[in-house]
């Protein structure tokens, strides 16, 4: 396996931006992939996957390379050399690789792999928190699963096609997919491919959405003709799924603090052929008060630590701080308190997070049910999805019903 200079330089530049300028890996990768129009799919795959790999294993590689943050360019070259040696590449005779101790790298790797925080490449505080909340055995499995590369999952848009038809269309493009009986609308790609370039995507036949995230809309039991409120809609992955389950009938109010996200949702809705969504920017308590006791169904896709989606966002291992998690729990409690008032008597609400920590999930629901607002609700059921068991993202969802 040969290393190509222009591809490797792109990787090094990208890692500098992620590690030293605090830029988000997905944005940096997107820019990197547009750098040279002559690159084929193989080249782009090398660039994207190598950047993500080195971000994912940052702590382990830095330890082996004996470099410390903030990394200068030489440090990043040393980490890249570690990656290349461990991946079995023959190092070319570039000046950056002079005196690379291949044997020592492999020895250090074997040694450090015995210690979980290095083996799984995570900060000390995250390792301690995981053990405290999930226990040693489960955390071991979960963090290992979170370090595997995420699969690409499509959600078929029922308003426009069926799973079988979409599968056939993609098969004609040499994109092979498979079904999983546990996920009604999901098509799982057998190999990664840039599905956004397909005509099927441009025609709104599908969205890219993790399988675990696809469980949320059906869990809320939305039906055509209902009034449904998505309180933290963002760019609307789950909103669009609910619209398709509602067959475009009824009213779907998509709320968010950020207008830019709702603008993205409008574009996606147009492509999906969805016209029952009404975007509303949350401008204060007034926006919420207007909806008190008005909705049949409410989704609270709560802000969270994202500790269930590390495989998708490996750089968040380094961006997250323990105090953020403490603060986000307060936000979750406030969101439950405020948005639960939108549910009308007899209506239902789902609280969901993409975290695997009980303190953000089951414990939040338990606390809420003991508050004044929470006493109006009955707990129906909840689902805990672990990456180590499902192979997809870690997720939590709880269904509550408002008493008549």
Q: Locate the domains of the chain by residue range.
A: 5-121, 153-208, 211-402
Q: Work out the number of other CB atoms within 10 angstroms of the CB of residue 326.
A: 10
Q: What is the mean pLDDT of residues 375-400?
A: 98
232 noted as active-site residue: no
Q: What is the mean pLDDT of residues 383-404?
A: 98
pLDDT bucket at 10, cuts 50 / 70 / 90: very high
The mean of the pLDDT values for the chain is 97
Q: What is the 3-state secondary structure (H, E, C) of 241-293?
A: HHHHHCCCCCEEEEEECCHHHHHHHHHHHHHHCCCCEEEEECCCHHHHHCCCC
Q: How far apart are CA 56 and CA 312, in angstroms?
A: 10
User: Among residues 150, 246, 291, 354, which one is catalytic?
Assistant: 354
Q: Which CATH number is associated with domain 153-208?
A: 3.30.70.1170
Half-sphere exposure of 335 (CA within 13 A, CB side): 28
pLDDT bucket at 286, cuts 50 / 70 / 90: very high
Q: Does domain 211-402 have CATH number 3.40.50.150?
A: yes
Q: Exposed (0-12), middle (13-18) or buried (19+): which is 137, by Cβ within 10 Å?
A: exposed
Name the percent of the chain lying above pLDDT 90.
98
Which run of H or E residues covers position 28?
A: helix 25-32
Would you say 301 is a known binding-site residue? yes
Write down the pLDDT at residue 1. 79
Would you say 382 is a known binding-site residue? no
Is 0.75 surpassed by the pTM of this model? yes
């Amino acid at each position: 396996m040969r290393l190509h200079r222009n591809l490797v330089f792109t990787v090094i530049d990208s890692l500098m931006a992620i590690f030293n300028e605090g830029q988000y890996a997905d944005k940096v990768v997107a820019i990197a992939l547009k750098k040279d129009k002559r690159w084929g799919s193989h080249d782009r795959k090398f660039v994207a996957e190598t950047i993500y790999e080195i971000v994912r294993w940052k702590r382990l590689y830095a330890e082996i390379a004996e470099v410390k943050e903030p990394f200068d360019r030489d440090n990043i070259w040393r980490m890249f050399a570690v990656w290349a040696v461990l991946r079995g590449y023959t190092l070319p005779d570039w000046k950056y690789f002079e005196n690379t101790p291949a044997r020592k790298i492999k020895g250090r790797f074997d040694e450090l792999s015995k210690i979980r925080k290095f083996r799984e490449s995570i900060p000390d505080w995250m390792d301690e928190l995981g053990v405290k909340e999930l226990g040693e055995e489960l955390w071991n499995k979960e963090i290992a699963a979170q370090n595997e590369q995420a699969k690409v999952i499509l959600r078929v848009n029922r308003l426009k096609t069926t799973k079988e038809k979409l599968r056939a269309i993609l098969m004609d493009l040499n994109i092979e997919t498979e079904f999983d009986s546990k996920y009604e609308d999901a098509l799982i790609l057998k190999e990664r491919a840039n599905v956004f370039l397909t005509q099927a995507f441009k025609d709104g036949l599908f969205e890219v959405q993790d399988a675990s995230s696809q469980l949320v809309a059906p869990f809320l039991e939305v039906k055509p003709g209902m009034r449904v409120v998505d309180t933290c809609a963002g760019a609307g992955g789950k909103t669009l799924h609910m619209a398709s389950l509602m067959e475009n009938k009824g009213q779907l109010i998509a709320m968010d603090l950020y207008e830019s996200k709702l603008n993205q949702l409008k574009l996606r809705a147009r492509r999906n052929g969805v016209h029952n969504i009404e975007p509303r920017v949350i401008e204060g308590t007034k926006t919420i008060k207007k909806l008190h006791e008005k909705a049949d169904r409410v989704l609270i896709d709560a802000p969270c630590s994202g500790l269930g989606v590390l495989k998708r966002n490996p750089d968040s291992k380094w961006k997250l701080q323990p105090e953020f998690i403490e603060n986000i729990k307060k936000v979750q409690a406030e969101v439950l308190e405020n948005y639960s008032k939108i549910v009308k008597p007899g209506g239902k609400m789902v609280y969901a997070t993409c975290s695997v920590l009980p303190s953000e999930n089951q414990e939040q629901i338990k606390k809420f049910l003991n508050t004044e607002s929470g006493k109006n609700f009955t707990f129906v059921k909840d689902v805990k999805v672990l990456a180590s068991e499902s192979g997809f993202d870690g997720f939590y969802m709880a269904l509550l019903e408002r008493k008549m």
